[in-house]
Amino acid sequence: MGETTPKKPDCRECYEKQMRELAVLCGLDDATLDRMLAIKDEVLAGMGGERIRPDRMGELLGRVTPLLGTDDPYRDIKREYNQLMLDREQECAARIEAADEPFQLALRYAVAGNLVDFGGKNAFTRDDVTALIDRVPEISFAVDDSAVLLDAVRSARAIMYLGDNCGEIVLDKLMIKEIARENPDAQVTYGVRGGPAINDVTLEDAAQVGMTDVARVLSSGVATPTTVLSASTEEFRRAFYDADLVISKGMGNFEVLVDGCGREDVYFLLMTKCGHVASLVDAPLMSFVCKRG
């Protein structure tokens, strides 16, 4: 297993990659990239020089966005990955329905979708995503609180499900359908970002994949790649705190909410795509995690 004491996180590599990727995506020249890198260094220096928590990422994105020529540079990529997963939706749904433990398999599909993350240092391709989806039935959780989560789902009346990335949202939809089969009376609210934030899900993504057919979709009101409860709308905060349980997707949500969100019954579903998070949950890199907070 991972180390018992988390290493001091160093986010410089991830944010360097993010700036360079944005520059390529938007067709920017070297001078503009240099300005973006200087802004990145300035923001990092103001926060200790090594670490930008996801809830502070909005500041960096907000400062470089005027240089990009668009406020949503990942829009086309998000649509492509949403469609990639929509093309696999029926196949995955059939596997879940035929499984001995459909709830558990739906959970693993939902976690597999977490690979689609343009905000981290791990490069991936469409073929990588497809290959991982193919292997999901063979993959086990490194940290597995899924049985406890299933019990909680069966007794819940209101569930808050916090989304993370494009593409992944399609597999979240399958997970929510499975929740409905386990507990037809549960009301599920699916939380999305309040505006473009790398490739995180927004109301636009929810509409594209039909999430509104299976859950109430609610924007946090904050265009940041995590859930910032203190800055979210009152309606969003009320949905979070009034829910009987919270299901939280991805590392960005985990890194912020695990520090203390005012409740313990939060279930984190994610892939451990960086050493810091892997150490925090005591799991190997690139493993599947279902962990009660």
One DSSP character per residue, the chain reads ---SSPPPP--HHHHHHHHHHHHHHTT--HHHHHHHHHHHHHHHHHTTSS---GGGHHHHHHHHGGGTT-S-TTHHHHHHHHHHHHHHHHHHHHHHHHSSSHHHHHHHHHHHGGG--TTSS----HHHHHHHHHHGGG--EEEE-HHHHHHHHHH-SEEEEE--BTTHHHHHHHHHHHHHHH-TT-EEEEEE-SS--TTB--HHHHHHHTGGGTSEEEE-S--SSS--GGGS-HHHHHHHHHSSEEEEEHHHHHHHHTT--S-S-EEEEEE--SHHHHHHHT--TT-EEEEE-
Across the chain, mean pLDDT equals 92
Which structural domains are found in the chain, ordered by start? 12-67 (no CATH), 75-292 (3.40.50.10880)
Question: Do the Cβ atoms of 288 and 111 come closer than 8 Å?
Answer: yes
At 46, the pLDDT band (50, 70, 90 cuts) reads confident
- Cα torsion angle, 165, 170, 171, 174, sign: positive
Range name among 55-59, 80-84, 238-242 with the lowest pLDDT average: 55-59
The pTM for the full model equals 0.93
pLDDT above 60 (res 3): no
First-residue to last-residue Cα distance in the chain: 18
pLDDT at position 9: 60
Question: Do the Cβ atoms of 267 and 149 come closer than 8 Å?
Answer: yes
pLDDT tens-digit series, residues 7-20: 456 677 788 888 99
pLDDT at position 150: 98
pLDDT above 90 (res 98): yes
Question: Do the Cβ atoms of 194 and 223 come closer than 8 Å?
Answer: yes
pLDDT at position 207: 98
Residue whose tokens read 């907070």: 293
| Residue of higher predicted confidence among 258 and 58 | 258
pLDDT at position 195: 94
pLDDT tens-digit series, residues 116-170: 998 877 788 999 999 999 999 999 999 999 999 999 999 999 999 999 999 999 9
Residue among 276, 258, 286, 247 at smallest CA distance from 112: 286
Gap between the Cα atoms of 247 and 190, Å rounded: 9
At 89, the pLDDT band (50, 70, 90 cuts) reads very high
pLDDT tens-digit series, residues 204-222: 999 999 999 999 999 999 9
Residue among 290, 245, 244 at smallest CA distance from 268: 290
pLDDT above 90 (res 181): yes
Question: Do the Cβ atoms of 112 and 171 come closer than 8 Å?
Answer: yes
